Amino acid sequence: MTGAGMSVESGLSTFRGGGGLWDEYPVEAVATPEGYSANPGLVLEFYNKRRRELAGIKPNKGHELLASLEKSYDVTVVTQNVDNLHERAGSTKVIHLHGELMKACSSRQPNNLEYVKSFSSPLDEINVGDLAADGSQLRPYIVWFGEAVPLMNDAIAAIRDIDAFVIIGTSLNVYPAAGLLNYVPYGVPVYLIDPNEVQVNGVRDVVHIRRGASEGVQHLIDNFLGEGK
């Protein structure tokens, strides 16, 4: 499971913490259905800007190392990130809990895949007046605060049948994603990669690798997964 800390080394801002995007943009204004209803133009431009940022960044070593694990393991990435860096690095099984910047959807039926549109370029935009196939305003394919997480059951199903669970770059403060740890079968090793202290709820042993994403994944591979560089 990966969070914003996974993409920091690629140059993307985190949302929480000092200097995060929520310091610049009130979460209520750009990441809630109410904010979208009040000022759709502001919300659309906020995500247009986030999408444009993807044009100037690349997957970092951490993304690439996770993708390389597919040579030896069956790897599913459950990510809270809305960027496409895991896919660009070569990961083939990615569950985006909070949506995807490179897609747009219907305002009326945001979870209806029939009306989901994929962008061909990060420079593509959604503007007021752009319509989905059902005639409603196109909106970012993002799960906002207060909305259900449609792929949560997919993530739970994946986690219930694993041999190891790795958490990278997430504060474990955002639910329901943070609750996925509760579905990890007992006896399955849990590794947490984060240079900062992370409060882990629940009673279970967690190996905390206090390093950034790229260095931490390399350390995981070298010391716990029996893989070489």
Instruction: Give catalytic status of residue 208 as yes or no.
Output: no
The half-sphere exposure of 60 on its side-chain side, counting CA atoms within 13 A, is 18
Lateral strand order in the sheet of 207-209: 165-168, 190-193, 207-209
The answer to whether residues 83 and 141 touch, using CB atoms and an 8 Å cutoff, is no
Cα Dmax for the chain = 54
Catalytic-labelled residue, pool 63, 98, 208, 219: 98
3-state secondary structure of 139: strand
Q: Torsions phi, psi of 18, nearest 5?
A: -60, 125
Q: Which of 2, 176, 159 is nearest to 89 (CA)?
A: 2
DSSP state letters, 78-113: EE---SSHHHHHT-S-EEETTEEEEEEEESS-TT-G
Q: Which residues are catalytic?
A: 98
